[in-house]
Amino acid sequence: MNKTVRHLADGREIIYFDEGPAPPSRDARDARALPPVAGSSEIRRDPLTGEWVAIATHRQTRTHKPPTDLCPLCPTRPGKPSEIPEPHYDVVVFQNRFPSFVDRNGRTEVVCFTSDHDRSFSELGPRRVRTVVDVWADRTAALSQLDGVEQVFPFENRGEEIGVTLHHPHGQIYGYPFVTPRTERILATARDHFAEHGTHLLGELLATERADGARVVEEGEHWTAFVPPAARWPVHVLVVPHRRVADLTGLTTEERADFAEVYLRLLRRCDGLYDRPLPYVAGWQQAPVRQGHDLAWLHLELFSIRRAPDKLKYLAGSESGMAVWVNDVSPELIAQRLRAAG
């Protein structure tokens, strides 16, 4: 993989990741007359829960469902400039023009998985997915070196039902200026379990699920995808490496290649579930920058709000108000349906 760093007209960084042995020069200039990024974000701590909330009012003006010929994530064409000055790319990362975290309050990046506007992640080949994994690892390492970044979260939102406003296949990477509440809870539970049993909690769960098999959806040499026994969502899957690593940078070449195969099979099962593209959120749970590396077990979590071909799960009173989930579908049935969707 070849990496080329350039800058957009307003000074934001853009990074091209090319797969071929002879990468293009990547010298196209961003000719747009862009003003400097004017937004700023603020983080405030909820005095009742101790959790951090980002206030980013400038995001109200972000691009919202533009027509295909004005997609800002497609390559630049004559008369149609975009966020990517080049006429073609493999994978590209750039700083978000409408970031959730700016200044010294973290960093927000956009990851475009392909220059093809009409493809989805499930339609990428194993080689491209492997490249994306390498990019996630590269950015995890780079963002972890920035002042103020405490946790790196690569993720993909897919589908209008999830709230996606740009249809081009892409994801984001958040460099949080704090450790997120969910990660704090996971690490605390793992710490208590290790203190009592001397073993890693997710490793024990993985072994149990592989031995039982009722909730396993896909399995490879180095990864297993299974529905968690207390699944919160009508579609909910964890993709877990068989070897404990703290974050994406620790994966071997073989583990990255095997993930590409396992994950693509899982995504195709998801799209086959209702014979239509499944809206989902998929994100990496990995160790924070400065803590938890001895306890964290890297894994990807995928979930969907679609509970039937014509029904969505909404976060109603119990979920939104008290963070107590009520799932209308059993984890065993979720796994059974996904296996059948193959």
DSSP string, 240-309: EESS--SSGGG--HHHHHHHHHHHHHHHHHHHHTTTSPPPEEEEEE---SSS-TTT---EEEEEESEEET
Instruction: Report how far residue 314's alpha carbon sits from residue 308's, in angstroms, rounded to the nearest whole number.
Output: 12
Exactly one of 7, 170, 197, 236 is catalytic; name it: 170
CA distances from residue 322 to 49, 190, 290, 311, 326 in whole angstroms, order as listed: 12, 23, 30, 23, 11
Q: Is 168 annotated as a binding residue?
A: yes
> In the structure encoding, which two tokens stand for residue 154, read together?
């690569």
Instruction: Report how far residue 155's alpha carbon sits from residue 64's, in angstroms, rounded to the nearest whole number.
Output: 19
> In the structure encoding, which two tokens stand for residue 206, read together?
């993985």
Residues 6 or more apart whose CB falls under 8 angstroms from that of 301 comprise: 236, 237, 238, 239, 282, 283, 285
Token pair 């990024």 is found at 37
Instruction: Report how far residue 67's alpha carbon sits from residue 226's, in angstroms, rounded to the nearest whole number.
Output: 37
Give yes or no: 242 in active site.
no
Q: Is 167 annotated as a binding residue?
A: no
Residue 6: how many other CB atoms lie within 10 Å: 17
Amino acid (one-letter) located at 322: M
Half-sphere exposure of 227 (CA within 13 A, CB side): 26
Angle at 268 between CA 266 and CA 272, to 5 degrees: 115
Amino acid (one-letter) located at 216: V
Q: Is 112 annotated as a binding residue?
A: no
- Give first-to-last CA distance, the chain, whole Å: 32
Pairing of strands 299-304, 235-241: antiparallel
Binding site residue list for Zn(2+): 71, 74, 117, 168
Write out the catalytic residue numbers. 170
| Residues that constitute the known binding site | 71, 74, 117, 168
